Amino acid sequence: MPTYKLKYFQSKGRAEVCRLLFALAGQEYEDIRYSQDEWKTEKSKTPFGQLPVLEINGEPYGQSSGIIAFLAREFGIHGKTSLEQLKVDQVMGIIQDIYTHMLKHFYEKDPAKQAEILKENNKDHYPKYLVVWVLRSSLISLTAHPELHRGEEHTAQRASNMPSYKLIYTNNKGRGELCRLLFALAGQEYEDVRWTRETLQAEKHNLLFGQIPVLEVDGKQYAQSMAIAGFLAREFGFHGKTSVEQMEVDQVIGIINDIFSALIKQFLEQDQERKAAITKENKETTFPKVVGFFEKILKNNSTGFYVGDKLGFADLAAFDTLSKLEGINLDDFPLVKANKEKVESNERIAKWLRERPDSEL
C-alpha cells in the first residue's frame, strides 16, 4: 500500500477535494498544512513552486486537477468507462471555468473593478454554471437517472462497431486544435466541422453547454475541450499507461491550463494600458516560468518525452500550447525545443501540419 502525503495551506482552496477523496475512500494520509511563513521556506522544494503537492512514497507531484483525477482513479471513484470518465471530466471543466472567474475577481487590485467583476460573476457567470451543473449533475449518478444510460448503450455499440466522431469548432486553432492533432496522430477519420461566428450564434442553443468545441460520439454531444482531448487520448492509446503516468500527463495539462488562464486574462482585458502591462508580464515572466516547468519535466523523465518513452498526449498538448505563445525563445529551453521538433517530425503530424486548413490561432 503506498504512503500518501498531501501538502497545502491551512485553508480549503485547491486541496479540499483531495481531502474529501481521502475521506470517502477511508484512506490514511498525512495532511500537511503550511502557514504563509513556512511556505516561503518550502516553496523551492516543490516541483513547480506551488501547492497542492501530493507525495506518493516520497515522490512529489503537482497540479491539483491531476492529483484529484489520480486519487479518484486509485480509489475507484472515477468513471468506469472512457465515456464515463469524459462525463466526469466535463464537470471538472466546468469547475475550472468557475475558478477562472473566481481568480479574475481575486487578483483584481482596483476595488471598483473588483466590485464590478463580482457583480458580473454573481449575475451572469455563476448562475450559468450552476444551471448547467443542476442539469448535468446526474452525470455522476447514472443509477438515479436511467435516461442517462444512453451513454452506456454507446459504450456497448463501440465494442462491436467503430464509433463515428464529429468535432465542432470554429476555423481557429484555439481550443480545438489539440483534438485535431490527436485525430491526426491516431490516423482516425472524423468530421472536422468548422462553424462561422454566425453559425455558432444560430446553433448555440442546440449545444450541450452553449459553447464549443463539442465532440459528437455516435451522435451524442460532449463538451469541455480538455475533457474531450483526454477522452481521445485514452481511446487512441496516447494517455499514460498507469495511474501514475496519467497523473504525470495531467501535470502537464494543469500547467497548460495555467497558461490558458494567463492568455484569457490578457485577451479579455478591456483597458488598453492594463492589457499592455499584462501582455508584458506574460511575455517576460509568466510564460518563461511555465516553459521552464516543461523543461524540468523533460529533464526528470530523460527520454525526450514528457511522459513515458514515446510520443503521446502530453507532447501534443505542449506542442499545441507553445504554438500559441509569442516571444518565447526556445533556444533557452533546449529539451522543450527538441521535444517540439520530435512532434513536428512525426509522419502523421507533419502531414496534418502541411495539409490542415488555413486558420488563425
Write down the pLDDT at residue 265. Answer: 84
Fold assignment, 243-347: Glutathione S-transferase Yfyf (Class Pi); Chain A, domain 2 (1.20.1050)
pLDDT digit string, tens, across residues 14-46: 999 999 999 999 999 999 999 999 999 999 999
Question: Three-state SS across the chain?
Answer: CCCEEEEEECCCCCCHHHHHHHHHHCCCCEEEEECHHHHHHHHHHCCCCCCCEEEECCEEECCHHHHHHHHHHHCCCCCCCHHHHHHHHHHHHHHHHHHHHHHHHHHCCCHHHHHHHHHHHHHHHHHHHHHHHHHHHHHCCCCCCHHHHHHHHHHHHHHHCCCCEEEEEECCCCCCHHHHHHHHHHCCCCEEEEECHHHHHHHHHHCCCCCCCEEEECCEEEECHHHHHHHHHHHHCCCCCCHHHHHHHHHHHHHHHHHHHHHHHHHHCCCHHHHHHHHHHHHHHHHHHHHHHHHHHHHHHCCCCCCCCCCCHHHHHHHHHHCCCCCCCHHHCHHHHHHHHHHHHCHHHHHHHHHCCCCCC
CATH architecture of 4-74: 3-Layer(aba) Sandwich (3.40)
Write down the pLDDT at residue 308. Answer: 96
The C-alpha cell at 121 is 460573476
Write down the pLDDT at residue 131. Answer: 52
* Count of C-beta atoms within a 10 Å radius of residue 193: 16
Tell me if domain 4-74 and domain 82-236 are identical in fold: yes
Which homologous superfamily does the CATH classification assign to the domain defined by 82-236?
Glutaredoxin (3.40.30.10)
β-partners of residue 5 are: 30, 55
Does the pTM surpass 0.75? The reply is yes
Residues of the chain with pLDDT under 70: 103, 107, 125-126, 128-161
Write down the pLDDT at residue 101. Answer: 74
Write down the pLDDT at residue 160. Answer: 44
Domain positions in the chain:
4-74, 82-236, 243-347
Write down the pLDDT at residue 332. Answer: 95
Selection from 355, 315, 317, 350 nearest residue 335 by Cα: 315
Contacts of residue 59, defined as CB under 8 A and 6 or more positions apart, other chains included, come to: none
